[in-house]
Amino acid sequence: MLPDAPIGVFDSGIGGLTVLAALMKALPHERFMYLGDTARLPYGTKTAQTVIRYAEQAAEALVRHGVKCLVVACNTAASVGLDAVRARAGALPVIGVIEPGAQAACAATSSGHIAVIATEATVRGGAYQRAILERRADARVQQLATQMLVALAEEGLVDGPVARVVVNHYLGPLFAADPPDTLVLGCTHFPALAPTIREVVGPKINIVDSALTTAAAVRDQLLAAGIARTAGSQSVQFIATDGPERFARAGSRFLGRTIEARRVELIDL
């Protein structure tokens, strides 16, 4: 596998672009290929069985495109489908967002009381809880499915009264009495809402976004495997299974830079 091959990043849609943004910052010489399964999003409300099947198909498509490693940038897919993706990836390194997120949470917490907000499917899968308890057996993990936050982020309603009321609906009770000292944003859509979340939970809570630690984990694995690209300019190729216009419009907000719809390739999985 050549260092010049692209890093494959996949997500159910556009949320994973927050992870891509962190990867692009950490790895300035790499080529990236980002696949968003926009025809079938969201994964977060679907069963493990269906999410696994979709994740396998996405992984196979990226492997066919010649990527050198796979980043599962969707918490739901990483939570329930990482083993299935590894089985499809052969010898390629596969990095999910759950392990780095759990690692960051354990590094941040003092009390060991950690809250995880995520999609229904991620909560049901329980992967964050397992990953945190493996690192810190005395941790107390509270998981909460916060499905409406996905819709808020997708609509770009990330601040203002609507966002505040919805965030408070979920997090108000959780942080009222006996609050956790650390909050894991267990869905790649949620960093867009971080300022509003901060307003609701107050200044003292550690807010953990797995994007940064995931980017560090990817860099370490590429170096260890001897396939990091250390010179040359960065590039990104976007692939979606539906709606290049919506991908470009909503995705630009998540990536923090403009995506042009005509540069988004449409494929069928």
Just list the catalytic residues.
74, 187
Spell out a b/e string for 259-268, using b for 16 or more CB atoms within 10 Å of the CB, else e: bebeebeeee
User: Can the peptide bond before residue 3 be classed as cis, meaning omega within 30 degrees of 0?
Assistant: no
Please report whether residue 189 would count as binding its own copies according to CB under 8 A.
Answer: no
Size of the site for its own copies (CB under 8 A): 26
Choice between 34 and 43, CB closer to its own copies:
43
Report the DSSP beta bridge partners of residue 144.
Answer: 117
Please report whether residue 267 would count as binding its own copies according to CB under 8 A.
Answer: no
Choice between 113 and 246, CB closer to its own copies:
246
Alpha carbons 121 and 42: distance in angstroms, whole number: 10
Taking the complex as a whole, how short is the minimal distance between the CB of residue 45 and its own copies, in angstroms?
Answer: 7
Spell out a b/e string for 45-74, using b for 16 or more CB atoms within 10 Å of the CB, else e: ebebeebbbbbbbbbebbbebebbbbbbbb
Binding mask of the shown chain, residues 225 to 244, with x at each position contacting its own copies by CB under 8 A: -----------------xx-
Q: 64, 91, 137, 161: which one contacts its own copies (CB under 8 A)?
A: 161
**Who contacts 204 (Cβ-Cβ below 8 Å, separation ≥6)?**
181
Choice between 166 and 259, CB closer to its own copies:
166
Write out the residues near its own copies by the rule CB under 8 A: 38-41, 45-47, 49-50, 120, 147-148, 150-152, 154-155, 157, 161-162, 165-166, 169, 242-243, 246
